[in-house]
Amino acid sequence: MRVLVVGAGAIGGYFGGRMLEAGRDVTFLVRPRRAAELASAGLVIKSPNGDATLTNPPTVQADKLSQKFDVVLLSCKAFDLDDAIKSFAPAVGDNTAIIPLLNGMLHLDALDKRFGAQHVLGGLCAIAATLNEKREVVQLQPMQSLNFGERAGGLSDRVRAIADAFSAINGAAASDHVMQDMWEKWVFLASLAASTSLMRTSVGNILAAPGGKDFLLGILDECSAIAADAGHAPGGPFFQRTRGLLTTEGSPMTASMFRDIRAGLPVEADHVIGDLIVRADAAKIPVPKLRTAYTHLKAYEKQRQA
């Protein structure tokens, strides 16, 4: 099975690198600068699950991409999606499956429109990883997961085949309810991102402030209500775990969106928070806390543009 990994940053570099390390047929679609880095130093992974240095990993640049691939693994940010689609489009053939690892749901509409829904699986991942100053992939915590599946549910033959190829990744697994998984991740991510970005601090510090716990749980309730209206109410072990993470006193947890704000980087305000508000408005669900967080994020975007 031929796998094209779009980008070789923290997420694509880690998951693609683990597959390449295990002998899978993996090619990285990268920009010229990253291609030069990989050709010179290799793809270096620093991880509590084991380090790896992969010399001369197979790469291709968009203007040279002509072959078709069985799977496209897409891990870009939402604001880079349009450019990413243009770059990997030549790799999509009649039987290509695209696994997007973006947050939220808006990207599914864009991918469906360009390639057809039959090509687009559901997907999500959880990993704490970054590129360091040496451009090495650094995994910060041992926990990791990568899930994918048919959006209509069930386990198809193609998903089973992909699961076999992805078995080289610890924590990778096919899901027969991937849309539920994606909604549950969105609820947690949006709650964490809205809260820590708006308050500019960690969960623990928010909890220690007057009204902090009520605010965190209020955000979670708003996001959960939107998911429930879509037919994907969070519940069971996930919801209890999420509630626990958002009510752990002293927790240093923050969202990557908050860390991006601190670094002056772009954020996925519309994709992660704005789209939830659009859905809430359509369902007449009041979401005052989400609206405040969204206004804050859009003001940040205006300031950054200036």
Residues acting as catalytic residues: 185
**Backbone dihedral angles phi then psi of residue 211, each to the nearest 5 degrees:** 80, 0
What is the side-by-side order of every strand in the sheet holding 69-74? 59-60, 25-29, 2-6, 69-74, 92-100
Q: What is the largest CA-CA distance in the chain?
A: 58
How far is the CA of 103 from the CAs of 19, 90, 186, 196, 222, in angstroms?
A: 22, 24, 6, 17, 18
Helices then strands (H, E): number in the chain? 12, 10
Q: Give CA–CA dist 216/218, Å, rounded.
A: 5
Q: Give CA–CA dist 223/288, Å, rounded.
A: 11
Query: Residue 82 CB: number of other CB atoms within 10 A?
Result: 12
Q: Is residue 154 within a helix (H) or strand (E), and if so which, with residue range?
A: none
How far is the CA of 84 from the CAs of 30, 80, 130, 134, 266, in angstroms?
A: 10, 6, 20, 24, 16
Q: Give CA–CA dist 31/204, Å, rounded.
A: 39
Got the DSSP string for 24-52? -EEEEE--HHHHHHHHHH-EEEE-TT--E
Instruction: Work out the angle at residue 181's Cα, subtended by the Cα atoms of residues 166 and 13, and round it to the nearest 5 degrees.
Output: 40
Cα atoms in the Cβ-side hemisphere of radius 13 Å centred on 169: 30
Q: Give CA–CA dist 219/272, Å, rounded.
A: 13
